[in-house]
Structure 1
Amino acid sequence: MKDDKYKDVLLKYGKETVSVKLDKEMCNVLYPEDLPGVYDPQKEVIDSIENPIGSPSLKDMAKGKRDVVILASDITRPSPSNIMVPPIVDELNKAGIPDESIKVVFGLGYHRKQTEEEKKKLVGEDILKRVRCIDHDINDCVYVGTTKRGTPVEVFREVYDADFVIATGNLELHYKAGYSGGYKALLPGVCSKNTIEKNHILMFSNGAMPGKIDGNPMREDIEEGGKLAGVDFIVNAVLNSHKEIVKVVAGDPVRAHREGAKYIDKMYKRVISEKADIVIASCGGYPKDINLYQAQKGLDNAAYSVKDGGTIILVAECIEGLGEKLFSDWMVNASCPDEPLKWIKEEFRLGAHKAAVICEVLKRAEIYLVSSLDRDFTEKIFFKYAKTVQDALDEALKKHEDGAKILVIPYANSTLPYVE
C-alpha cells in the first residue's frame, strides 16, 4: 500500500539527480515561478531596441558616432549574446555606422582570458568575422573619477576611447549587488582590479543583498561608477530557469534595468510564511554546483530562509573541488569561521571574499555539505559531512524538535525566499 504521509523530492546533483523522502506535513518545496519563453527571441531583441524604455531609439542615438563599443558577458555567464548582439550590429549599420567602427568587448571582471572558440560560442561566427571582438584587459585601464563611496573608477582603455557604449547582459538576482545587468556590464565588467576590489568591499555593508536596489551600497556604487564612465544604452535579457528568454529590455541604463528587474521578481522572489528549521538547498546541478565557489550563491539564498541556529543542507557535487585558489587557501588555512571574516576586514581580496561570505552563514546556522568531497576535507572547511541528503536530513531531525519545519529549494542559486 502506498504511504501518503511521505513524498520523494528529486534534486539536481551534478549531471544527475538525487532524492530525499519528506514528511508532507513538515515540508514545503519552493520552485521558481517560470514565465514562458518568447516564441521568437531575436524578434524580441529587435522590438526592444526599436521601442526602448526611457530613451530615444538606438538608431537615432547612434547616428554620427565613430567608435561604438558593445559590452558583452564572458563565458562564465548565461547571457545570450549570440541572440542579442547581431540585431544590435544591424541596427548600428542602419544608423550609418560600418562594421569596422564597431567592436565587442567581453567583460572579464577578474576572470581569465577567453579562447577564440569561446568568443565564437558567445557571439556567433558571423559577428566574430564582421566586427573586432576582444577581451577586456584589467591592466590597461583609464581613471575617469571617484564615487562618493571612494571607488576609483578605472575603465578599460578601448571602452574609455569609444564615443558610444552599449551594455548587454542577462538580468538575474545577484547575491550582494541586488541584480546583475544594467551598469554592471561596465563596473565591474570592464574595470581595473583596483576598481573591482574597492566596489566589492561594499558587499559587507548593510543593505548589500539579493533583490534590493534602493539602499544597496554595492548596487548604488556600481550605478554611480557606470554614469561616471558613460553607458549610453543597454540591452538586457531576462531568462527563466530553462535559460529561455522571457523578456528583453532596452534603453536607459537605469529605467530599462528596473523594468527588467520586475520580471526577475515575478519568477525568482518567492514568499514564504516563516523561516524554516531545516532548509535543503540544491544549487540546480551542473554547472551551478561544479565547485563550492559557484555553489556559494545557493547557500547564500538559502540563508535568507533559515532560522538562526537552524540547519542548511547544501546539495552540491563540487566535482572540481573548491574552485578558486585564493578562496580555497582561505577555507583550508582558517582554524575557525571567524578568521576569514577577520582577514577580509584587514585586506579585501577578490576570490577570498566568498570564504568570508560562507563563514558569515556558518556563524548563523549548522551546514551539511552533500558533495563529492570526502569527510575529512568537508569537516576541515567547517561543514558537517553527510554521504546522502537523506542522511543529512535524518541527522538534522535529531537536533530539532518534533514538528520541525522543512523548506526545500531545488534551484537555490536563482531562488530568493523571503518572509513578507
Structure 2
Amino acid sequence: MELVFKIGTQTQPLEIPGTSLLAVLEPNEIANTLTGEAAVQDALRHPIGTPTLRKILHPGETVAIVTSDITRPMPTWAVMPVLLDELYAAGIRREDITLVFALGSHRNHSDEEKRRLAGERAWSEISCVDSNINDCVHIGVTNRGTPVDIDRRVVNADRRICLGNIEYHYFAGYSGGAKAIMPGVSTRAAIQANHSQMVNPAACAGRIKGNPVREDIEEAATMVGVDFILNVILDAHKQIIKAVAGDATAAHRAGCAFLDTLYRIEIPQQADIVIVSQGGAPKDLNLYQTQKALDNAKYAVKPGGVIILIGSCKEGLGEPTFEEWITTAPHPQALIERIQKDFRLGGHKAAAIAMVRERADIYLVSDLEDALVEKLFMQPYHTVQDAFNSAIRRYGQDATILAMPYGGSTLPWMKQN
C-alpha cells in the first residue's frame, strides 16, 4: 500500500507491505458542536470549578491577563473580544486591565507583533505588555526547590486570568493551565530549576499525576494565585474546537481529557519501525521544531527499533544552544549527563533527542547535509522510501510498522501505559 508524508512544502510517497502495517495514527473523529467564538462564550458561561467571572470580579479591581507569546499557537486575538465583554460586564474598567505576554525565556515582541497577537480590539482598549524577567517579585520556593519569582504586574494585580492552548508537552504532560505562570512569567532561574526535572521518566507527554514538572508548575501557580483560566484546544488548522474555563486545575483537566479523545491514539503494540512526520511546513523548518514528532514517536517504537523521522529542517538546527550541545557531544549519554548537571534551555531538546536515541535508532529524512546528520547521532536519508528500505533490510519483511503522518499532534498510547 502507499502512504504519503508531508515534508516541508512537498509530499513524499512510501510503498510498504500492507500486511506489516499495524496502524496509521491519525486524529480521532469527535462530535463537537461548538467551535470558535461560540465555544469561548460557552466556556465563560459555564466555568468548571468556579463561579462565572461576573461573580468573581468586582468594580475597581485590577486584572492581569496572562497569555502566550509568539512562539505558541494560542489565538489570543480570537478570545480577547469575548473575554473583554465579560470583564466590562463585571464592572472592570479598561484602564485596570493589563494583557501580559508570557515570554518565559524567549525574546521580546515588537509592537507590531504584540498588536497582532492581542488583536485590534484589545490593542486599542487595554495595556498590552511583555513580561519582564528583570522586574519580578519573590513569592517563595516550591517543595522541589524551584524559586517562584513572578512578573511584578502579574503579582500586584488584584485578579489573575491565565489563557493558553492545551496540547501535549513532552515533559510537562500538557501545555496550558498553570504553565502561563510557570514558566510563562517566571525568571530564567525558575524555569531552569523546574525544567531540570525533565530527565525523570515520569515527566512525559500525556501524564499529569506523578509528573514532577507539572506538579511543580501547579504548586508555583497556587502560591501566586490564579483566579480563572480560559484555555482552548485547536484542530490541525489551528482553529478553536473546544474551550474550557474556570479553576486552574479542574478546568485544565477537563481540557486535557478532551484533547485525549482527539489526539491520544491507542496502539495494539509497539513496532519495529515507526515512520513519523512533523506534518510539513512550517512545523518542520528546523530540527528544534521537528523534535516534537520524534518525542511522540518514542512511545510507539520497540526498544532497539527504528524511528524514521521526516522533517525538512531546511533552516538547519534552529537554536544556538541546542546546536552547540548536540554537535559537540561525543555520544548521546553525554547529553543526558550534561542536562542533569547543568540544565540549559535549548540544551534540553538536545538531551531529549539523546533520550530517544538511547531507546531506538533514528533515520532522519531531511534537507540537511549527511555529515551534519551523522554528528547528530542519526542516519541521513533524503527520501522516506530509502529510509524505509534500509529499515526493512535490517528487520526483514515481517517487521511491524506504525505510521504517524501527524506526529507532532498524535500521542501513541498503550493501555498498560
Q: TM-score normalised to the size of structure 1?
A: 0.96
Q: Specify the alignment match of 2:7 in structure 1.
A: 13
Deviation at 1:34, TM superposition (A): 4.2
Deviation at 1:118, TM superposition (A): 1.6
> Separation in 2 of the partners of 1:210 and 1:65?
41
> Separation in 2 of the partners of 1:183 and 1:356?
24
**Aligned match for 1:91, one of 75, 86, 89:** 86
Conserved? CA contact 2:322–2:348, under 8 Å: yes
> Separation in 2 of the partners of 1:46 and 1:92?
13
Deviation at 1:161, TM superposition (A): 1.0
After superposition, the C-alpha distances for 1:7-66 in whole angstroms (9 at most, x for unaligned) are: 211111112221111111111211111436755521221221121111011111111352
Map 1:231-310; keep pairs closer than 5 Å.
231-310=226-305
For the pair 1:78 / 2:73, whether they are aligned, the reply is yes
Q: Specify the alignment match of 1:41 in structure 2.
A: 36
For the pair 1:410 / 2:405, whether they are aligned, the reply is yes
Q: Specify the alignment match of 1:3 in structure 2.
A: none
Deviation at 1:284, TM superposition (A): 1.0
Please state whether the residue corresponding to 2:73 is helix, strand or coil.
Answer: coil
Conserved? CA contact 1:37–1:245, under 8 Å: no
Conserved? CA contact 2:326–2:376, under 8 Å: yes
Deviation at 1:401, TM superposition (A): 3.0
Please state whether the residue corresponding to 2:392 is helix, strand or coil.
Answer: helix
**Aligned match for 1:329, one of 306, 310, 324:** 324
After superposition, the C-alpha distances for 1:99-121 in whole angstroms (9 at most, x for unaligned) are: 11101000111111112222222
> Separation in 2 of the partners of 1:273 and 1:382?
29
> Separation in 1 of the partners of 2:164 and 2:343?
27
Q: Specify the alignment match of 1:200 in structure 2.
A: 195
> Separation in 2 of the partners of 1:31 and 1:41?
22
After superposition, the C-alpha distances for 1:125-168 in whole angstroms (9 at most, x for unaligned) are: 12111111011112221110111111111101111111100001
Deviation at 1:181, TM superposition (A): 0.8
State the AA in 2 paired with 1:229.
V
Conserved? CA contact 1:34–1:240, under 8 Å: no
- The answer to which of 238-247 and 294-303 deviates more is 238-247
**Aligned match for 1:23, one of 17, 22, 47:** 17
> Separation in 1 of the partners of 2:258 and 2:351?
31
In the alignment, structure 1 segments of 5+ residues that lack a partner are: 1-6
> Separation in 2 of the partners of 1:415 and 1:39?
22
Conserved? CA contact 1:271–1:417, under 8 Å: yes
For the pair 1:339 / 2:334, whether they are aligned, the reply is yes
After superposition, the C-alpha distances for 1:278-321 in whole angstroms (9 at most, x for unaligned) are: 00000111222111111111101101110111000000111211
Conserved? CA contact 1:327–1:353, under 8 Å: yes
> Separation in 1 of the partners of 2:224 and 2:373?
43
> Separation in 2 of the partners of 1:348 and 1:189?
18
> Separation in 1 of the partners of 2:408 and 2:87?
36
Q: Specify the alignment match of 2:48 in structure 1.
A: 53
Q: Specify the alignment match of 2:216 in structure 1.
A: 221
Map 1:113-152; keep pairs closer than 5 Å.
113-152=108-147
Deviation at 1:366, TM superposition (A): 0.9
- The answer to which of 16-25 and 264-273 deviates more is 16-25
Name the % identity. Answer: 46
Conserved? CA contact 1:65–1:163, under 8 Å: no
Provide the alpha-carbon RMSD of the alignment: 1.2
> Separation in 2 of the partners of 1:194 and 1:63?
35
**Aligned match for 1:108, one of 100, 103, 107:** 103
Conserved? CA contact 1:171–1:180, under 8 Å: yes
Structure 1 runs of 4+ with >4 Å offset: 36-40
Please state whether the residue corresponding to 1:214 is helix, strand or coil.
Answer: coil
